[in-house]
Structure 1
Amino acid sequence: MDGTSIGSGDRPTVMVTNDDGIDAPGLRALVRVLVSTGRYNVLVCAPDSEKSAVSHSITWRHPLAVKKAEIDGATAFAVSGTPADSTSLGVSGALFPSIPDLVISGINMGSNCGYHIVYSGTVAGAREAFFNGVPSVSISYDWVGGKSVVHDYTLSAEACLPIINAILVDIKNQTYPEGCFLNIDLPMDVANHKGYKLTKQGRSSYKMGWRQVTSDSQGGKMLSTMTMETDSAASNEIDTQIVRADHLLFKREVLSASVGDGIGTDFQSLKEGYITVTPLGALSNAEIDCQAYFKDWLPRAAL
């Protein structure tokens, strides 16, 4: 952790990013709560617009446009790239004078459990920090349309403060593990959560399908944002790219809801009302039974 800002008596530096965009209420609530404690130097480096479900995509061929943003109590920049781009730039030393001690990605609108972790730009923002040797956390709130309210983001941020503080203490003491980053999901009824629970990534996912649509039904525009929760406000996001008349249009749709996949998994525990804390690595390893199968299979296949 060379170059980080924690020192004797110094306030640690926390950088916030996300995938819902720098103006998203989840990010703004998280920053407000962090700033209000007076315990951290708060930086923000986040996409300038909504970038949900872009996974760990990065911008390679073109420069990023970066613009100063006004967020009370924080030094903030909006970036034209992806969540991974934003984190990479923010921890590089090229934008800020020092490397942050901790990167927090979120608070996302909607949970990120099971296989959805692969799609998540929020998780990618934390994973990119991990790739660069900076401790990180991704945070998501299980937003449910018609039940959740914007204030739930503030409650979620406050509920995560003990974890954030504990991580920073271990970082200062040089005892925090370097082999993982954390993915935190907060239940819909966050005000009455059942406590923190250490979980493992499960296999939950929504069964997705496709439905052909016409340009007339979409106002001549193509829906581009994949929304896991169909009642989420994010489902109204549309791309302004005009579709040519000779193109067919297909829109994603949810065919069946995600289900829990066992005791101790992230999705199941989240639905039981716990704040789930899931350590993640850079890669998803194959299941043990698959490893055993291919250990015998490969020599035969190579004959």
Structure 2
Amino acid sequence: MDDAAIAGSRPTLLITNDDGIDAPGLRFLVDLLVAADRYRVLVCAPDSDKSGVGHSITWQCALSAKRAEIMGATAFAVSGTPADCASLGISGKLFDGVIPDLVISGINVGCNCGYHVVYSGTVAGAREAFLYGVPALAISHNWKGRKSNVHDLKLAADACLPLINAVLYELKAKAYPEGSFLNVDVPTDVANHKGFKITKQGKFMTRIGWEQTYSNTPALESYQTANMNIDSVSGPANNASSALVEDELLFKRVVIKKNDVEEEEEDTDHRALEEGYITITPLGALSHTEMEGVPYFKSWLMRLAERTSSSSL
């Protein structure tokens, strides 16, 4: 694409995430966008890791927004959730009336395919912007322990830049559809990805169970885990566990099983991701039921009405 196509007026990009404002995925993305010198870059991201909070929002308490130093960008670290950050960032209240042209949530450590979009704070950040009429992308990297390293997140940012520019081009041409936002997942071996592929949301899900534990030491946060290759992890994750109180039981989440890729349908997000594609999945605000279930529930409601009527006689 011709660089002059979007250079006439610098588009404003708002970057958020769920791994926290210090996460390497966000920092690599912001650094890349700033270095391109083609965008106005705003950052409004959680002040700590908010992975897995879904689309939760802060309602009863005021949010704290503190200036953060990110060279070339105007940035705030916010005490709320990813959805809070996206909402505040597009409101015009934080950035002196500026409304972004595009919101980008990520780059997340770990894929967000299939049913995981329900839990994902990364996806929620993009969805929140979409709900209020601002185009949005969620970007995640299919991080895998012992295979991935922090540099992969930088490569993921590089790989997604053409997609970001393509969306901006369509927005400037007023050709971009308003009915969806995009959920983008980058494969583990991003250096050898097979290109972009439009996919549909599948039913992939990592099944989680519970296991009793005798330590309440927090697990390492996702971006801290990713950062272990370049920095030592500090903070509460390294603190010794406190003693159990009497009659207290502790349980931690453990992975039971991941879906088998071979069982997934063609052109679904997770299957294509595992095949090496950068997947682009258009999502809407709502989760729709499978249509084949509708006739059953219509019949069920009729039977319910008949039983209710007969029991009242």
TM-superposition CA deviations, 1:135-163 (whole Å, max 9, x none):
00000001112221211111111111111
Deviation at 1:171, TM superposition (A): 1.2
Q: Which residue of 2 aligns with 1:249?
A: 250
Matches of residues 130-141 of structure 1 in structure 2 within 5 Å? 130-141=130-141
Deviation at 1:122, TM superposition (A): 0.3
CA contact (8 A) 2:109 2:143 kept: yes
Deviation at 1:259, TM superposition (A): 2.3
Change (3 A) 1:247 1:156: same
Q: Which residue of 2 aligns with 1:124?
A: 124
What is the RMSD computed on CA atoms of the aligned residues? 2.2
Q: Which residue of 1 aligns with 2:30?
A: 31
Deviation at 1:233, TM superposition (A): 4.8
Change (3 A) 1:239 1:131: farther
Matches of residues 1-303 of structure 1 in structure 2 within 5 Å? 9-97=8-96, 98-214=98-214, 218=215, 220-221=216-217, 233=226, 238=237, 244-260=245-261, 261-303=264-306
Q: Which structure: larger Rg? A: 2
Count, aligned residues: 288
Q: List 4+ stretches of structure 1 deviating above 3 A.
A: 220-225, 232-245
Letter in 1 for 2:303: R
Deviation at 1:245, TM superposition (A): 3.4
TM-superposition CA deviations, 1:23-69 (whole Å, max 9, x none):
00000000011111111100000000001000001111100111000
In structure 1, what is the Cα distance between the partners aligned to 2:26 and 2:246?
A: 38
TM-superposition CA deviations, 1:267-286 (whole Å, max 9, x none):
00000000000000111100
Deviation at 1:247, TM superposition (A): 2.1
Q: TM-score, normalised by structure 1?
A: 0.89
Q: Which residue of 2 aligns with 1:3?
A: none
CA contact (8 A) 1:223 1:251 kept: no
| Structure (1/2) with the larger helix percentage | 2
Deviation at 1:125, TM superposition (A): 0.5
- Aligned residue for 1:302, secondary structure, equals helix
In structure 1, what is the Cα distance between the partners aligned to 2:287 and 2:206?
A: 19
Letter in 2 for 1:30: L
TM-superposition CA deviations, 1:200-248 (whole Å, max 9, x none):
000011121100111xxx2x545597x7xxxx65999859896643321
Deviation at 1:124, TM superposition (A): 0.4
Change (3 A) 1:284 1:109: same
Letter in 1 for 2:292: D
Unaligned 5+ segments in structure 2 are 1-5, 307-313
TM-superposition CA deviations, 1:72-101 (whole Å, max 9, x none):
110000000110010010000100121000
In structure 2, what is the Cα distance between the partners aligned to 1:222 and 1:13?
A: 37
